[in-house]
Structure 1
Amino acid sequence: MEYLLIVFVNVITPMLILLAIGVVLQIKFTFNVKALGNILTYCLIPAAVFMNLYHTVINVKVLLDVLFFVVLFSTSLIVIGHLFSKMLRLNRQQSAVMKNSIVLINSGNYGLPVSQLVFHANPLGVSIQIVLIVYQNLLTYSYGLYNLVSATQSGAAILKQFIKMPIIHALWLGAFLNLANIQLPLFVELPIEHLSNAFIAIALITLGAQLAQIKVKALWNRLIFLSAFGRLILSPTVALLLIMLLKIDGVTAQSLWIASSFPTSRNSSTLALEYDIEAELAAQIVLFTTVISSFTVGLVIYLSSIIFV
């Protein structure tokens, strides 16, 4: 119990403070949240991804374990989302939002900062999270987008959007320089490092600003609670079973299990808003799971330190 308190104070509380700062600043100054999101997408996240891959070597076996796990994990969540939708007899739009809310995880501006806080002394944990970010982006702009706009978006257009994402180029460039043992000049590395260091604060403040714009109405909607149950309870439960089944251990297991407990991706709300498909419901799911995750993620972090020693 003492360690759980330490986790909440040292990991979750700093995150909540930055989220709260984002909420307050957004209410007072009404930032252009889309512009902040562009700074993250096109500058800070790629810098953070690049620096972590540039400085960390991931064992091939570990990488294969991670990829095998995430494919099984996301497939399991897709099945759960489909069963929930059938059980509740949802229409196509509600079904798409529920499925995305369970399958799509906020690995970027929530998961990466949390991982950097938890694994600040072990770069491997952060590197695994980066692999998960890339996979989640692929899942978002394939499965997630298909759920919402399968009638209007072609496969070629989805692939084009994915290839254009800066995080993909930061990924392969950081990995290449690492594997080739190429040392960047200090005047090049330092600016990238400064951008990487700014990522956590700006990401969480931006997420807070986004949450401040969500209108809270019918939080007693059963879809919101079932989505939260699937994302915050069933997801880490399934992940733990798969980790044990695949006999993954150590930091890899700890990182994967923690990552499975993160709230619904903000991209699920962004896509729903962009294509006008149950946008209010999607936004409230993001808000609800983000708030509740401050407790559930803290518990998973605590338990992971006990189970995977």
Structure 2
Amino acid sequence: MDFFWEMLSLQETLFLLILLGVLVKKLKIIRENGRKTLSDLLIYAILPCNIVASFMGGITLPDGFVHNCILAVCISIGIQVLSIYGSKLLFRRYPANQKSVLSYGMICSNSSFVGLPIAHLMFGDLGVIYTSVFQIPLRFTMWTAGLSLFTDVSKKDAFRKLVRHPCIIAVFVGLILMVAPISLPNFLEEAIDITSGCTVPLSMIVIGTILADAPIRSLFSKSVLWYTCLRLVFFPVLIWLVLKPFPLDSTLVNVCILITGMPAGSTTSILADKYGGDAIFASQIIFASTLCSILTIPLLTFLMGV
């Protein structure tokens, strides 16, 4: 129970950082082009450094680490298949432009900007490693089944986006550094480690700048609340019920449950806006699910018995 209150306190801290992002965007200290620059900085530099630093952290790997990584990929694939077909069933009666947004929001959570920092704070470097491996099928689904909800996509383009994604590259770089008998120069390790330390504050500030533009009107409509409950409560609880009976590594299971319970990803509104979906509705589900996750993530940790 003590950890629940610690996690709630952590979420309050993250919420203040999000509010800072909202404030600097509302005051036009950061404008739209600046927000996009910060997002690119996170995706192309800071998050990859965070992943690589986790592999270099000198952590004591648990027995069966490789087996756990393979399990993380398999569990992630299962969750992605469930989200693809489940969303078709759950949102079949919605208008086409909203159905694509809701389905994409179920397939692709905010596992990078929100998931990675929280996994690091909760489970340390091992949590980041498992999260990064868990994300590999998610990235693949994002650029295949996810993107196809808005536009036609070829397998070649999807594969190219996957292998070029900086976070995926960082996973393989980190694995090489962890298993190979080589070490980076101290100054380079320190530079990566310092850059990695920017992950949490900058991620939350960027989320705040995104939410600053979300329309408040109809923010908690029936469809938005339905999605938020599915994304943050029903889906992760279902995964918890499926995984808990099996004798699996507790950190691995908790990471899978935690990442499944992340809010809608910011790319939901970006793709909806680009390909003619309901971008306003997408912004609403991002805002509502991110706001509600401040409470649901601590509740998930209580459920997991962390």
TM-score by length of 2: 0.92
Partner residue in 2 for 1:102:
106
Q: Is the 8 A contact 2:116 2:128 kept in 1?
A: yes
Q: Is the 8 A contact 1:254 1:305 kept in 2?
A: no
CA distances 1:61-80 after superposition (whole Å, capped 9, x unpaired): 11122122111122222222
Partner residue in 1 for 2:25:
26
1:79 aligned partner, one-letter code: Y
Q: Is the 8 A contact 1:125 1:255 kept in 2?
A: yes
Partner residue in 2 for 1:114:
118
Partner residue in 1 for 2:140:
138
CA distances 1:241-281 after superposition (whole Å, capped 9, x unpaired): 22125442422222222222111111122211222211111
Q: Is the 8 A contact 2:80 2:137 kept in 1?
A: no
1:119 aligned partner, one-letter code: F
Q: Is the 8 A contact 1:100 1:268 kept in 2?
A: yes
CA distances 1:112-135 after superposition (whole Å, capped 9, x unpaired): 111111123xx2222111222333
TM-score by length of 1: 0.91
1:62 to 65, 68, 77: 68
Q: Is the 8 A contact 1:69 1:243 kept in 2?
A: no
Relative to structure 1, the CA distance from residue 139 to residue 167 in structure 2 (aligned partners, 3 Å threshold; closer, same or farther) is same
Shift of 1:165: 1.6
Partner residue in 1 for 2:301:
301
Alignment of 1:266-281 (within 5 A): 266-281=266-281
Partner residue in 2 for 1:82:
88
Partner residue in 2 for 1:206:
206
CA distances 1:51-102 after superposition (whole Å, capped 9, x unpaired): 112335571111122122111122222222111122xx22332221111112
Alignment of 1:107-256 (within 5 A): 107-120=111-124, 123-150=125-152, 153-256=153-256
CA distances 1:9-54 after superposition (whole Å, capped 9, x unpaired): 1x21121111111111111113321111111111101111111123
Q: What fraction of aligned residue pairs are identical, expressed as a percent?
A: 22
Relative to structure 1, the CA distance from residue 3 to residue 63 in structure 2 (aligned partners, 3 Å threshold; closer, same or farther) is closer
Q: Is the 8 A contact 1:20 1:205 kept in 2?
A: yes
Shift of 1:202: 0.7
What's the Cα RMSD here? 1.8
- Further displaced range: 218-227 or 180-189: 218-227
What runs of 5+ residues in structure 2 fail to find an aligned partner? none
Q: Is the 8 A contact 1:73 1:242 kept in 2?
A: no
Relative to structure 1, the CA distance from residue 161 to residue 249 in structure 2 (aligned partners, 3 Å threshold; closer, same or farther) is closer
Aligned pair 1:52/2:54, yes or no?
A: yes
Shift of 1:3: 4.0
Alignment of 1:257-296 (within 5 A): 257-296=257-296
Task: Name the CA distance, whole Å, in 1 between partners of 2:5 and 2:150.
Answer: 40
What runs of 5+ residues in structure 1 fail to find an aligned partner? none
1:127 aligned partner, one-letter code: I
